[in-house]
Amino acid sequence: MIDWTAEIALSLASAAKLVPPARNGRRCHLSTILRWILRGAKAPDGTIVRLEACRVGSRWLTSREALQRFALALTPRLGGADGAAQRSAASQRRASEQAAVELDKMGL
């Protein structure tokens, strides 16, 4: 939730200007920001993360801090003990099947 007492409101056009250009050099479009608010984006763990915003009259507003929280939620955590949790379900299934084959070879 956006805390309007501590965060400065941004229009979606202003928020789009804060997002760095993509590899092709094109700027983030206002509709991309709106899509992040309404539909969200998929995080590395598969959950959907939405950009925090609120509707004031006929306008959507967000904040620089909300963009920061959104980016952090979408950034994968590299290294550390949670590396195994980053695998997809198919990858985990294949690893489990391979382990079962190896255990059968060992007679366990």
Whether residue 78 has pLDDT greater than 90: no
pLDDT at res. 106: 83
| Mean per-residue pLDDT, 88-101 | 85
Per-residue model confidence as pLDDT tens digits over 47-73: 999 999 999 999 999 999 999 999 999
> In angstroms, rounded to a whole number, what is the distance separating the alpha carbons of residues 49 and 37?
9
pLDDT at 80: 60
- Three-class SS of residue 47? coil
End-to-end CA distance of the chain: give it in Å, rounded.
52
d(CA 33, CA 39): 10
Output the six-digit token pair for 14: 């202003």
Q: What pLDDT is recorded for position 89? A: 79
Mean pLDDT for all residues in the chain:
88
- Which stretches does DSSP call E strand in 1-108? 9-11, 41-42, 48-49, 54-56, 59-63
